[in-house]
Structure 1
Amino acid sequence: MSKALSPLLLTAIERYAAAREAKADLAKPIADFIAATENQSPASIADADGAIASAAGLWSWSQKLSWFDRNVLGKRSDRDLLDEVPGLPFLFLFHKNGFLRQAALERISGPIPNAFLVAALAWRRNDWVHQVRSSAKACMDRCLPFTSPDVLSVFFLETAGRRSTWRRWSDAERQSMDALVARPEAVAEIVAQLLRQRNGPLPSWLRSLLQYEWIDPHLKLLAVEAKISGVRAVALQTLAYGYARSTDGSGERFWIDKPMGISGWRPRVWQRALTIHSDRSEAIRSGLRDRSTAVRKVALEAIIDHASHDTDLIALAGSFLNDRSTSIRSKAAFIVERMKQAH
């Protein structure tokens, strides 16, 4: 069993393969396949791509069918089936034959059913075949304006970090797709999920979203009302420091000991100025009132790094000298002691 696919999706694909081998009706297996992709994480698309092709027998080569094969034996080629079986183009997005991937993309229209299949279109925009990438762009331009904001928000959140590691598309191509996905109603749903969800790597998702300026107007709300403390901490840190800081999935080599030729690898970090006005003092005060230790810790770190001369904030920091958290107490003590030494 492929670990890249959910048991439900793998079973649906195997039923398709069995029906294809038996020359049976494919409508029900394909409908089951599309339904099963609903519960497959869009973040798994890179691993799921080959696993789906293998399980479904979607090989790059195909046998040419003779008149006898078609009219007497009733055999059908994959290309024949594309125009005969509703929904089959969604499965053929994973075909090993680039011509069939392109043909599948050209036949898809209307709203995309779920986030995993949106991820499949995005993955094809990163295809190694230029013509497939072009067809994927046209398909997304045609379909995503009609796709549900709920579907787009799940895709965007769960793949924000992963998509930055896909290297075949240019920055302009990636940005054009991001703009197509992140229309206002989809952005509203993304923010709503960050506010209300209680599970998943939400802080990491928010850090990935910091590369987009459209998240800036929502940071104050996220810093106060997000259910997950990690989301509040990321939003607060961004507001308190006055800039968005994240990684884009790329890395850089650095020297640990140059004379000895010892080097390491670390994520490349970038930052940008916020597009909104951020009152640093107000943000820090809000963080100090938070019920979460993680958020209060970020607020105290912001005082250490950027507000060391704000006597009002330093006085507030002093109220945490007896906090139950060792980390909070130590940061508060550092702030107070540094203030004493300054005078």
Structure 2
Amino acid sequence: MQKSQVVEENVVKAVKDFAYSITSGSKVVADMSSLIDVTSQLPLTSFDYWERFIRTEFSLALREREPPKWKFWSKPKERLTWLDLISWDGYKREKALRTLRGAAPNTFFFSLAVRRLNDWVPQVRDAARESLPELAKVTAPDFVIDSLLIALSNWNSWGRIEDADKKILLLIISQKEIANSMRSRLISSSSGPMPFLFSQLGRTNILDDYLPEIANLAVQPAVRAKAYRSLLERRIAWVEGYKWIWTDIRYCEGRKTPIVAERKLETKVPVLRLLECAAEDRSSVVRKVSAEVLIRDLEGAGVYAKELAEKFSLDQSSAVSERGRFALSKLRELERDNSS
């Protein structure tokens, strides 16, 4: 039996057990233990699939437990649960968001709440906007951070999320404990969408004072490169969204083009020092950033421009050495212009 099939069977069993605990009438509080255990092991990269799968199985399980219509006296009392966040009924989803109190039991369930910002019912999105900040305060920071990492990586593909909704997520990220953990993740994570996360976090100022630390210590070269570029260019940029551009409207051909926004940075670290540090980085991705910035501002590097250009021209990476040679040729042109 394939592993995915085993996981699905475990999820179905947990959902049915949970539905039974709700409808049996023998318990005051629904038993979520097995459901929490199984959803804690689900891959968040397949969240769309698991949300649909659990919604369907939960709906079927509740339908199986419904008493016959003629037994109207045995109709169980309605009890809102975390799974009502993905109910087919928009009224239930909204009511669940406004009624549920206490911490989300794991990353999966906090993600269910976050994803209601992209719900197809406007009233549900309003409820999510109002309830998420308080929910984040009482939920374990690791659950919140893991959920936000997925949300920030995908929100540009969410067709219904609005600027006000994005501001709510950024407000949550700006909470001191969450912000500190986010910075630690940026630095220590060796995989995952950290470069994209870095750009999206640039919408706020929570990284501003820590950019030199991120540039020096981040494990992923792409994150270090983005940090150095932001410091050297005195600005931080991010993808705001995408717009469609027709390349040939006769044949309905076109492409998505990113909409880039930016914010100015105030930094006290001298540009020359940043160039030198980036030039010594172990990754050619970072060294290339330093070489590109040097080319754009050869005069600003002063007497050190030639030294840096020569260093880049001898680099083992062809992308870096090519830029170094170009910088040297530009310097020779400048010398000729100044001497004539």
* TM-score range relative to shorter protein: 0.7 to 0.9
Aligned mates of 2:293, 2:210 — CA distance in 1:
20
1:116-195 aligned at under 5 Å gives the runs 116-195=108-187
Contact 1:318 1:332 in 2 (8 A): yes
Is 1:303 aligned with 2:305? no
**Alignment partners' CA distance in 2, 1:159 and 1:134:** 17
Deviation at 1:183, TM superposition (A): 0.3
Q: Equivalences for 1:132-281 in 2 at 5 Å?
A: 132-253=124-245, 256=247, 263-277=254-268, 279-281=270-272
Change (3 A) 1:164 1:12: same
Unmatched segments (≥5 aa) in structure 1? 84-88
Residue type of the alignment partner of 1:265: K
Residue 33 (1) aligns with residue 45 (2): no
Which of 265, 278, 291 lines up with 1:287 in the alignment? 278
1:69 Cα deviation after fit = 2.6
Question: Counterpart in 2 of 1:109?
Answer: 101
* 1:248–1:269 contact (8 Å) kept in structure 2: yes
SS state of the match for residue 249, structure 1?
A: strand
Q: CA RMSD in A?
A: 3.5
Q: Secondary structure at the match of 2:332?
A: helix
Mean Cα deviation higher: 38-47 or 62-71: 62-71
Change over 3 Å in CA distance of 1:137–1:43 after alignment to 2: farther
Highest RCO, 1 vs 2 (Cα 8 Å, sep ≥ 6): 1
Question: 1:207 Cα shift?
Answer: 2.4
Give the 3-state SS of the residue equivalent to 2:185 in structure 1.
Answer: helix
Note the alpha carbon deviations across 1:80-136, whole angstroms, 9 max, x for none: 3525xxxxx112211111122223223321222333322211111332223322332
Q: Is 1:110–1:142's contact at 8 Å kept on the other side of the alignment?
A: no
Superposed displacement of residue 334, structure 1: 0.9
The CA distance in 2 between the partners of 1:261 and 1:128, in whole Å, is 28
SS at match of 1:239: helix
8 Å CA contact 2:221–2:286 kept in 1: the answer is yes
CA offsets 1:168-204 (integer angstroms, 9 cap, x no match):
3431232134203430110100011111122223222
Structure 1 stretch 11-20 or stretch 191-200: which is displaced more? Answer: 11-20
Structure 2 runs not aligned, ≥5 long: 336-340
- Quick check: 1:45–1:120 contact (8 Å CA) kept in 2? no
Q: Which moved more, 1:142-151 or 1:261-270?
A: 261-270
Q: Give the drift of 1:284.
A: 1.5
Q: Deviations over 1:279-324 (max 9, x none)?
A: 3222221101111111111111111234455231332221232222
> Structure 1 pair 20/188, CA: closer, same or farther in 2 (3 Å)?
closer
User: What's the secondary structure of 2:88's corresponding residue?
Assistant: coil
Contact 1:98 1:132 in 2 (8 A): yes
Instruction: Say how many residue pairs are matched.
Output: 331
Q: Are 1:339 and 2:338 counterparts?
A: no
Partner of 1:91: 83
Whole-Å separation in 2 of the counterparts to 1:172 and 1:276:
29
Residue identity matched to 2:107: A
Q: Which residue of 2 aligns with 1:86?
A: none
Once the two structures are TM-superposed, the CA of residue 258 in structure 1 deviates from its matched residue by 8.2
The DSSP-based 3-state class of the residue aligned with 2:260 is strand
Q: SS at the partner of 2:206?
A: helix
TM norm structure 1: 0.82
CA–CA distance in structure 1, aligned partners of residues 334 and 214 of structure 2: 35
